Amino acid sequence: MIEVWAPQAQQVELELGAPDEPRERLPMVRDDRGWWRWEGEHTAYDVVDYAFVLDGEEPALPDPRSAWQPHGVDGPSRVFDTAAHEWRDSGWRGPRDGAGTLGGVVYELHIGTFTAEGTFDSAVERLDHLVDLGVDVVEILPVAAIPGRWGWGYDGVDLYAVHDALGGPAAFQRFVDACHERGLGVCLDVVYNHLGPSGNYLGRFGPYFTQTHMTPWGPAVNLDTPGSHEVRAFIVENALRWLRDFHVDALRLDAVHALVDEGERHLLVELSDAVADLARELGRPLDLIAESDLNDTTMVTPTADGGLGMTAQWADDVHHGLHVALTGETQGYYEDFAGGTRALPDGGPLDVLAKVLTRGFLHDGTWSSFRGREWGRPVDVDALDGRRLVTYLQTHDQVGNRATGDRISASLTPGRVAIGAALYLLGPGTPMVFMGEEFAASTPWQFFTDFTDEGMAEAVRAGRRAEFGSHGWADTVPDPQARSTRDASVLRWDELSSEPHASLFGWYRRLIALRREVLGTDETRFADVTCSVEDDGDTFVMTHRGIEVRADLASDTVTVTTTGADGTAEPLHFP
C-alpha cells in the first residue's frame, strides 16, 4: 500500500514504475481524514520509483514521507524497506551500557566533511578514532534530503529521507550498526521548525504551515491551527521512526524556540511522552536534546512536573563565556560576556566565566544587551542535574557562522585551547566536542551549499556578503556555492601525526578518561562547582568533585589535579 495525506486535493493519482522507465498512472482513494491510498502491489518491479499527481497538475511530486530521493529533491521517491537491514546490535542497551547520553562525551560531526568522500561508509573507517578519544555518543548533523550534493543539512525538505549523496538510508543503517558495534551511541540532528526554500512541496499537499505565527524562515510549521493534528503526527512519527527503524539513540532538535505552539499540549510534551513510551517498549534509553536559546530549565523538566520533557538542552552561555575569556572578542552577542554590563556590572570576563560554569547561564533573568530585554529564568542549581546542559567550546554554528569559518584554534595558542577544553570537559555539563577540535584541525568549517536553483544560489551568496559586510569582511567571505568552500572544510586526518595536533589530541584523550574515572555516570550539580579568580587577575581556578583545573591565562598553561581516595594528587599539565 502507498498513501499520502492531501486533504485539500480533489483528486490524487499515483505514478509508479521502474527507474528510468515511463511510470503508470493509478487512481488513489480518499478517506474522510484526507488520506489517499493505493492498495495495490508493486512487486512487479525490483526497484520502485513513485510520485503523486495532485488534481492533474504537473509535475508529479515526491512523497512527503519519502525514505529515499535518489533523483534529488525534485524527482520521484523510491520505495525503501527499512526492515530489510539485518541488524547486528541485538545486545545493544544504549550509550554507556544503558546509562544513556547524559554525562557522556558527545562528538558532533558532519558526515559530508568528516572524510574526503563525505559518506556514511567512509565515516565508518574513522570511528575507531572516536573510540580512542573516549567518545560515548556521535551526534550527526541533519541527514534529510537537501538540494544538490552537499550542505550543512539544515535546509532539508524531505524529512523522512536520508540524503542520497551521503549514501542513502541503507548506508545510514550500516553506520548506526557500526557505531553500536564499537560501543558508540548515535544522536541525529533533526529540524522540525522549518524546511529549506528549494524543493519544499509540503505546502502543496496540505496545511503544513501557518501564517498565524511567523519565524525567521517565514510562516511557522502548523502546530496549533486547523489541520495541525496531522502535521504534529508527521513530526512525532518522524522522530519515532529514526529511533525505532534506524536504531538511533537520541535526537537533537534544532531551534525548538521556533516551534510555535499555543495549543493545550505543546508539541515537545507530546513528543517527549511518545519517545518515553517507545524507550520502554524497546528496553533502552532514548534521549531528546533541545537547541534552545530561552535559558529556561522548564525545557528539561519532566512532563509529569509541568515541563517540556527534554533530556538535555544546549547551553550557549557556557560557550560564550569560554569564548570571550579565551579570545577577548566582544562583538554582537558576546558583549555581555565581557562583564561590566547590566548582566554582570561588577565583573570582567573571568567573573562571567565563573558564573556560567557554576550556574549554567549568564542570562538567568538578567538584561541581555543583544536582545534589548531581560532574558532567561533563575536556575535552581541545587535541583538541576548539570548533565542536562550540553556544554562546548565549539559547535558547527559557532564556527561555521563566522565569516571565514575559522576555528578557535586558528587564533589561539594550543595552551589556551587546552584551558578551554579542561574547563568544559571536566565541568558538570554533558560535554560536546566539535569534529576536529580534539586535534586543533587547521581546516576551517565554512558555510557551504549546492543549490541547483541559480536564483537561490545567488540569494545565498548575497546574504552572506551582506551579513558580514558591515564588519568589512564582505570580500573575505567564501562563496557558499563553490566546491572549494566545501572541500576546504574537510578534515585532514594526516594532521594527527604532527604537532601541535598530536599533543592536543593526547590532552583531550586524557581529560575524557579522567572525566570517566572521576565523574562516571552519576548526576552532577552546578552547586558542586566553585570558581575563583586569583589576585593576579590571570589565574582562573575551577574545582569540581575532587578535580581542580588551574588555568594561567598569562602563560597559557593549565594544570589539572585530581585528589584520589588516598589523598594523593596526580597532576596533568599542558603543555
Q: Which residues are annotated as a binding site for substrate?
A: 252-257, 316-320, 396-401
Q: Render 270-311 in DSSP notation, one character per residue.
A: HHHHHHHHHHHHHTS--EEEE---S--GGGGS-GGGTS---S
The catalytic position among 291, 293, 364, 385 is: 291
Query: What span, in angstroms and rounded, lies between the C-alpha atoms of 165 and 110?
Result: 13
Beta-bridge partners for 563: 569
Handedness of CA 338, 343, 347, 351 (dihedral sign): negative
The catalytic position among 254, 270, 437, 450 is: 254
Sort 383 into a burial class: Cβ within 10 Å, 0-12 / 13-18 / 19+.
exposed
Residue 254 annotated to the active site: yes
If you ran DSSP here, which 8-state letter would residue 179 be given?
H
Which stretch of DSSP H or E encloses residue 430?
A: strand 430-434
Which stretch of DSSP H or E encloses residue 35?
A: strand 35-38
Residues making up the annotated binding site are 252-257, 316-320, 396-401
CB 162 within 8 A of CB 143: yes
C-alpha cell at 39: 492498495
Which stretch of DSSP H or E encloses residue 221?
A: strand 218-221
Query: What span, in angstroms and rounded, lies between the C-alpha atoms of 329 and 468?
Result: 16
Strands (E), 435-546: 529-533, 539-544
CB 341 within 8 A of CB 335: yes
Query: Active-site residues: which are they?
Result: 254, 291
